[in-house]
Amino acid sequence: MFKVILFISSCALLAACAQSLSVANKETFDAPKTGVIGVFRQPVGFCSGGYQQQMVLGGEKIIVKPTWTSAQDNLFSAYVNPGKADFTSYHYACGYTSTTLTAKESHGLVVPEKGFCKIAISFLKGDEQFSQNDSLLQAIFSKENVAIPFNDIPYCETY
Contact between residue 136 and residue 39 where contact means Cβ atoms under 8 Å apart: yes
Q: Into how many domains does the chain fold?
A: 1
**Number of helical (H) and strand (E) elements in the chain, helices listed first:** 2, 10
* Statement: residue 50 has pLDDT above 90: no
CA distances from 22 to 9, 117, 127, 128 (A): 24, 16, 28, 27
pLDDT at 148 over 50: yes
Closest CA to 120 of 131, 110, 108: 131
- What is the average pLDDT across 29-41? 94
Q: What pLDDT is stored for residue 1 in this prediction?
A: 46
What's the pLDDT at 108? 96
Domain that holds residue 51: 2-158
What pLDDT, on a 0 to 100 scale, did the predictor assign at position 49? Answer: 58
Q: Provide mean pLDDT across the span 66-77.
A: 89
Euclidean distance between CA atoms 90 and 61, whole angstroms: 9
pLDDT above 60 (res 18):
no
What's residue 73's pLDDT? 94
pLDDT at 156: 98
Identify the pLDDT of residue 4.
40
> What is residue 44's predicted lDDT score, i.e. its pLDDT?
63
- pLDDT reported for residue 67: 85
